[in-house]
Chain A
């Protein structure tokens, strides 16, 4: 299994509070992604990174920001959480010297509830 961890694994927070989710990899993969999973929508891309300090928006980026200051860490921040951001969040990684770029490996997910 690819070495991907997400923290926290579960979080309950109140509307209007800031929240940061962390994705950490030990595989030296170049690309990192944040997805959210909601019933009836599958997984949708929020933001992704193609290198340190290089990030871009995905399909559902409104209300989210990201940062990648080190190869191994990709942070997702909800500046002011809303109930519509209640979801399961997945981090994924791809492309290293030994892993082909077309395969993405997923972390265990973070269940976020905004009350």
Chain B
């Protein structure tokens, strides 16, 4: 069975600095997607970034980028120039290619200090 592990329950960063959130996963599949979701205090789940396993290039969305290490089954999220609005729970998620079920990690709570 596929599993997703987020080993950092909480992280903190100073405004304008860079922070990296870790995620590892376990799968025997070759076709899959990985995602980072943000959940602010409003509880709304917001898709931050996705990575297709077949793509070697790391995905980037503005200040958010990933370090996808397929062989190591690692998928970390880097947030550059952190802003107060980045404070939230961040969930890493995995989806096998031919299904639509998402498997989530347990989340990392990010605090941003001014």
Q: Which A residues form the contact surface with B (CB < 8 A)?
A: 31, 33, 40-45, 48, 50, 58, 88, 90, 92, 94-95, 101-106, 108-109
Whether the Cβ atoms of A106 and B45 lie closer than 8 Å is: yes
Tell me the count of chain B residues lying within 8 A, CB to CB, of chain A: 20
Nearest 4 interchain pairs by C-beta: A106-B45, A42-B104, A43-B104, A42-B106
B55 at interface (Cβ–Cβ under 8 A)?
no
Interface SS of chain A: helix, strand, loop or mixed? strand
Set B42, B95, B101, B106: member contacting A41, Cβ < 8 A: B106
CB<8 Å pairs between A and B, sample of 10:
A33-B101, A41-B106, A42-B91, A42-B104, A58-B101, A88-B43, A94-B100, A102-B33, A102-B50, A108-B43
> Whole-angstrom distance between the alpha carbons of A45 and B100 in the complex?
11
List chain B residues, Cβ under 8 A from A106. 44-45
Chain A residues with CB under 8 Å of B91's CB are: 42-43
Whole-angstrom CA separation of A78 from B7 in the bound complex = 32
Residues of B within 8 A of A (CB): 4, 6, 33, 42-45, 47, 50, 91, 93, 95, 100-107
* Minimum C-beta distance from A68 to chain B (A): 15
